Amino acid sequence: MNFDTGNTGFMLLATSLVMLMTPGLAFFYGGLVGRKGVLTIMMQSFVSLGITTILWFTVGYSLCFSGDVGGIIGNLDKAFLSGISLTDALSPNNNIPVLVFIAYQMMFAVITPALITGAFTERVRFKAYVIFQIFWLLLVYFPFTHMVWGGGILAELGVLDFAGGIVVHATAGMAALASVFFVGKRANTDSQPHSIPLIALGTALLWFGWYGFNAGSELHVDAITAVAFLNTDIAASFASIVWLIIEWKRTGKPKFVGFLTGAVAGLATITPAAGFVGPKEAALIGIIAGVVCFFAVELKNKLHWDDALDVWGVHGVGGITGVILLGILGSTAINPSGADGLIHGGFKFFFVETGAVVVAGAYAFMISYAMLWIIDKFTPVRVNEEEQTTGLDETLHGENAYLI
């Protein structure tokens, strides 16, 4: 088999960029927490690289992309990558090795459950988290990946999600909110970020990796790849500046953490629409992301929800907003493989997109809460107040990020 070496090389690069996002998330979250919990939150991200890879190799890829059971999930025909040859191409129209596609999609699966961890930082035992991650992938992520990207029922209904607004951000964000409600508040809810430079490093790695996340989702190189790449940066830039301005006006000072958080909000919000809208629409999406996500975090604070690192407000609300905006702004003039949104007469597409993201969010919330409740019956999920005060790095892992 003579593969398209240009597209194959690009997709290997995109896969590497998406892999880099998980360590980037670890640094982003690590900087946002207090000194005594840095390693705990970073380990929760890094360990997903190991656990999710094993699960993806054994059953995950097959459940997402092999066969179909009721439009909800795949089958186990390709468990352990059975029957997949080194010379198999992804499709007759996309002449890259299927192994590259397997690796690329695996990196999406790696980062998605790691996103949730920012919500329950400083409160959850490592054993409980590992069990939760495994079953969350099996019961939430794999089904929605199949339903949207694997030819399942949502794909048949015409649902579009370019790079994961539904599959990644809406499900993780609503799962994060469920975990906040289940585990309750931290002993010290006034905990402040201990290292803004770490947050900046994490944001830089996420922003950089997001080009692979969005542009790579075209799965080859063409004009849509280029517009998805450009849209990613435009939305992040507009959202970061909008967040900065709003917070500056409200507090009297321009905040670096606010700028960085706004960038991530813009990245999450453009994700479902990146390859289906033009740069002008991407700028509008970025502006809306900065406003909506900022006030979602404000609402969370007023309601005293202890979503420590604003996973719901940034990823959940951002992903949901992006899917709805795709239903409004999508254009076949940009991508003939997409759909026309509400402003172009696509009423059905708008309602399909909105309905899909509402169902995905509600399902992820309910299943995540139920899973934590069941896990807690077998092994404690929440750490006690004394362990929180001492710090989870020391009490759970016997390690410390800093000697002094």
Q: Which CATH number characterizes residue 355's domain? A: 1.10.3430.10
Q: How far apart are CA 152 and CA 398, in angstroms?
A: 45
Q: Is residue 328 part of a domain?
A: yes
Q: Is residue 208 part of a domain?
A: yes
Q: Which two tokens stand for residue 85?
A: 């040859």
Crossing angle of helices 5-32 and 98-116, in 10° steps, is: 10
Q: Is residue 265 part of a domain?
A: yes
Q: How much of the chain, in percent, has pLDDT values that exceed 90? A: 96
* Average model confidence (pLDDT) across the chain: 97
pLDDT of residue 191: 79
Pseudo-torsion of CA 230, 232, 234, 239, nearest 10°?
Answer: 180
Residue 190, pLDDT above cutoff 80: no
Q: What is the pLDDT of residues 65-118, one digit of tens each?
A: 999 999 999 999 999 999 999 999 999 889 999 999 999 999 999 999 999 999
pLDDT of residue 101: 98
In degrees, rounded to 5, the angle at the alpha carbon of residue 243 between the alpha carbons of residues 238 and 246 is: 125
Q: Is residue 287 part of a domain?
A: yes
pLDDT of residue 263: 98
Q: Is residue 404 part of a domain?
A: no
Q: Is residue 373 part of a domain?
A: yes
Q: What are phi and psi of 8, to 5 degrees?
A: -65, -45
- Tell me what the mean pLDDT of segment 376-404 comes to: 92
Q: Which two tokens stand for residue 401?
A: 């990020």
CB 262 within 8 A of CB 242: yes
pLDDT of residue 2: 85
Range of the domain at 107: 5-397
pLDDT of residue 368: 98
Residue 1, pLDDT above cutoff 70: no
Domain count of the fold of the chain: 1
Residue 204, pLDDT above cutoff 90: yes
CB 276 within 8 A of CB 326: yes
- Residue 35: which residues within 8 A CB-CB, separation 6 or more? 194, 391, 401, 402
- Residue 314: which residues within 8 A CB-CB, separation 6 or more? 173, 261, 264, 265, 268, 293, 296, 297
Residue 308, pLDDT above cutoff 70: yes
Q: Which two tokens stand for residue 340?
A: 């026309």
CB 74 within 8 A of CB 65: yes
Task: Specify whether the backbone of 285 is left (phi greater than 0), alpha (psi in -120 to 50) or beta.
Answer: alpha
- Tell me what the mean pLDDT of segment 131-149 comes to: 98
Query: What is the 8-class DSSP label of residue 3?
Result: -
Q: Is residue 85 part of a domain?
A: yes
Q: How much of the chain, in percent, has pLDDT values that exceed 70? A: 100
pLDDT of residue 210: 98
Question: 189 pLDDT band (50/70/90 cuts)?
Answer: confident
pLDDT of residue 404: 66
Quick one: how far is CA 42 from the chain centroid? 16
Q: Is residue 403 part of a domain?
A: no
Quick one: how far is CA 132 from the chain centroid? 17
